[in-house]
Amino acid sequence: MKLQLINPNTTAAMTDKMAVAARQVVSVGTQILAVQSATGPASIETAVDEALALPGLLAQIKAGEAAGVDAHVIACFGDPGLRAARELATAPVIGIAEAAMQMACLVASSFSVVTTLARTVPTAQRLLVDYGMTSRCRRVRATGIAVLELEAQTSDLLRKKIGDECRLALAEDGVGAIVLGCAGMADLCTELTQALGVPVIDGVTAAVKLAEALAGLGLRTSKQGDYARPGAKPYVGVMAQFAPAA
């Protein structure tokens, strides 16, 4: 089985980090094809970042479909372009935020999210509404850490900061699980699970395992309704290359 793990930001070090985490959990015989967008922002933290990350991300979805991958994972906690990617793909497309939230709900009645900058909190809160998760998530907590600070191996200082915020979540929010709110936190999941004694869910590994399960069951993205392939029409300017073909 071939899973395309897409980092929708353009930072190769972060792609490498998430690929290491993904390869530690997949079954024998599952290949992780880790890629990042060729165009777009170095990290995705604002609405502008997200909008300008989408052409590069959708190009990777198209390339993965052409290569016949069995599933795609969008590895950014804002799940950028998830619905658009599902319109383009026939293979399943999993976003790491949705995957982590769904998995958290299977092992705890409630969870808190520990994420990066405060300005990304409303994005996560919008996703909780979209995914029908508001009754299961008690709080989305910011650590004040920028995504690019997590691009390579996480430093001891940042490990402590993230661990401390998780401990506060457990002490104050009454939750049974923690969801890590950035793909760049994928290297912390095992040690935090051991240190905190509760399920800590990293979206990269959650999404990869869900992608494996869906592909293994032969489930594909529905082409009925709003995930149907976009109809042909012209796009102009730099977007002409994205014009849906007949």
State in angstroms the smallest separation of the CB of 240 from ligand 2AL: 27
Determine the interface stretch with ligand 2AL among 40-48, 62-70, 104-112, 191-199 (rule: CB under 6 A). 40-48
What φ, ψ does residue 188 adopt, rounded to 5°?
-105, -10
Q: How many other CB atoms are found less than 10 A from the CB of residue 83?
A: 12
Closer Cβ to ligand 2AL, 6 or 26, answer by number? 6
Which residues, 76 to 115, sit near ligand 2AL by CB under 6 A? 76-78, 115
Q: How far apart are the first and last CA of the chain?
A: 30
Contact 159, 185 (CB under 8 A): no
Label residues 24-37 b or e (16+ Cβ within 10 Å = b): ebbeeebebbbbbb
**With binding defined as CB under 6 A, does residue 120 bind ligand 2AL?**
yes
The residue within the footprint of ligand 2AL, chosen from 4, 9, 60, 143 (CB under 6 A), is 9
The residue within the footprint of ligand 2AL, chosen from 17, 21, 30, 45 (CB under 6 A), is 45
Which residues, 124 to 163, sit near ligand 2AL by CB under 6 A? 147
Contact 96, 189 (CB under 8 A): no
Written as one letter, the residue type at 88 is L
**With binding defined as CB under 6 A, does residue 44 bind ligand 2AL?**
yes
Which residue ranges make up the site for ligand 2AL (CB under 6 A)? 9, 43-45, 76-78, 115-116, 120, 147, 181-184
